[in-house]
Amino acid sequence: MYRLPALEPVRPLRRIALLTSGGDAPGMNAAIRAVVRSARTEGVDVLGYSRGFTGLVNGDMRPLTSASVASILHRGGTQLKSDRCDAFREAPVRWQCAEQLREMEIDGLVVIGGDGSLTGARLLYEETGFPVIGIPATIDNDIQGSDETIGFDTAVNTALDAIDRIRDTANSHERLFLVEVMGRNSGFIAAQAGIAGGAELILVPERRIDLDQVCRSLRESRESGKASSSIILVAEGRKPGRTQRLAQALEERGHEPRLCILGHTQRGGNPTGRDRVLASCLGTMAVAYLANGQQGVMLGIQDRAVVAVPLAAIGERQQLDPSMLDLALTLQR
């Protein structure tokens, strides 16, 4: 559960808009529902743009009502569809979008997405002054300013379910498995699912793979007699084929790894209870913050409370705490 700030409505809202952008994340639908229902409760009209910023650029939107967001709370994906929009990288395009939003008498835009989407939201706000509120939604959990992002918990549990299954067959055959999870730039999923799944090693993009150390760990783990099977959890990293290359290198050193790439299975599926509650809180508070006159902020979680962080203050990606990886290693010894 989260603590929600009590905010006074100081700015009457007539109409707001929202969009989901970037890689989808389980819980985006719950956030859409929360924005729509909390706005409609106050008599505020809501427009939903399709396919993220692409819909904004093309003026592709539709009115959303409380009824139109019924039965989506538990569904993965996003009812509004999502996209990575190259056109929105151009400043003149952002100006046109702001003009269009003003012409339509929209009082604020809620952007639900990850790193790139929040950057788009920040630029729109900074350059045009149009009121924007960001909601962090990405399975990667790498947004600075929020301890949690919508979709992370579900992705970890999806990966964990797969790891547990793989562990059964790995034990039966006393095998080594490499399991690849998502995380092009960050190892949050790998670290969390690896610790929870008892992985023998966790390899994240933040640390270079040391093949000698991997082989040493595998040997030690077998020799200690503690494990008859081994699971190495590998975050996909920036360069495609990272895990395949590792498998090949291990084969060349006499190991017989089996490879399982979980890929986009981690992006889909019903959101966990935790993600549904997080999305419901952030979606509801986005409307409250807009009505409170705040703009150019992202809502996040810090110390279990919903907080507003200026979009301008969100810099580099949130970094994985290395002590989590050390903890995983300690538990394998």
**Shortest CB 183 distance to ligand F6P, Å:** 5
Query: How far is it, in rounded angstroms, from Cα 186 to Cα 275?
Result: 19
By C-alpha distance, which of 165, 197, 189 is closest to 267? Answer: 189
Which residue from 148, 235, 118, 115 is spatially nearest to 186, judged by alpha carbons? 235
* Residue 274 near ligand F6P by CB under 6 A: no
* Candidate ranges 66-74, 181-189, 218-226, 295-303; the one touching ligand F6P (CB under 6 A): 181-189
Looking at 26, 183, 187, 271, which residue binds ligand F6P (CB under 6 A)?
Answer: 183
Q: H or E segment at 232?
A: strand 230-235
- State the nearest-atom distance from the C-beta of 184 to ligand F6P, in Å: 3
d(CA 42, CA 312): 29
Q: Residue 137 forms beta bridges with which residues?
A: 150
| 85, 159, 182, 190: residue in contact with ligand F6P (rule CB under 6 A) | 182
Q: Which of these ranges, 85-93, 102-110, 138-146, 275-283, lies near ligand F6P under the rule CB under 6 A?
A: 138-146
Query: CB 49 → ligand F6P: shortest distance, Å?
Result: 19
- Nearer CB in complex with ligand F6P: 68/265: 265
Enumerate residues 106-125 that contact ligand F6P by CB under 6 A: 114
Q: Single out the residue of 13, 21, 23, 35 in contact with ligand F6P (rule: CB under 6 A).
A: 23
Of the listed pieces 44-52, 64-72, 85-93, 134-142, which binds ligand F6P according to CB under 6 A? Answer: 134-142
Nearer Cβ to ligand F6P (66/244): 244
Q: Does 140 bind ligand F6P (CB under 6 A)?
A: yes
Question: Does residue 136 bind ligand F6P (CB under 6 A)?
Answer: no
Task: For residue 260, state whether it binds ligand F6P (rule: CB under 6 A).
Answer: no
Q: Name the burial class of residue 14, with classes exposed (0-12), middle (13-18) and buried (19+) by CB atoms within 10 angstroms of its CB.
A: exposed
257 contributes a contact to ligand F6P by CB under 6 A: no
Size of the site for ligand F6P (CB under 6 A): 10
Q: Which of 140, 142, 153, 275 is the catalytic position? A: 140
Report the 10 Å Cβ neighbour count for 103.
Answer: 9
- Residue 120 Cα distances to 18, 48, 82, angstroms: 14, 17, 14
- Contacts of residue 153, defined as CB under 8 A and 6 or more positions apart, other chains included, come to 271, 272, 274, 275, 278
- 138 or 295: CB nearest ligand F6P: 138
The amino acid at 214: V
Is 83 labeled as catalytic in the residue annotation? no
CA dihedral 64, 70, 76, 80 (to 10 degrees): -10
- Per CB under 6 A, 138 contacts ligand F6P: yes
Tell me how far apart the terminal alpha carbons of the chain are, to the nearest angstrom: 35
Beta strands across the sheet bearing 61-64: 61-64, 45-49, 15-21, 108-113, 132-136, 297-302, 305-310
Q: What residue type is assigned to position 30 of the chain?
A: A
CB of 90 to ligand F6P, least distance (A): 21
Assess 139 for contact with ligand F6P (CB under 6 A). yes
Q: Of 38 and 54, which has the nearer Cβ to ligand F6P?
A: 54
Identify the CA nearest to 240 among candidates 257, 219, 261: 261
Smallest gap from residue 121 Cβ to ligand F6P (A):
16
Strands 305-310 and 297-302: antiparallel
- Show which residues are catalytic: 140
List residues near ligand F6P by CB under 6 A.
23, 114, 138-140, 182-184, 236, 267
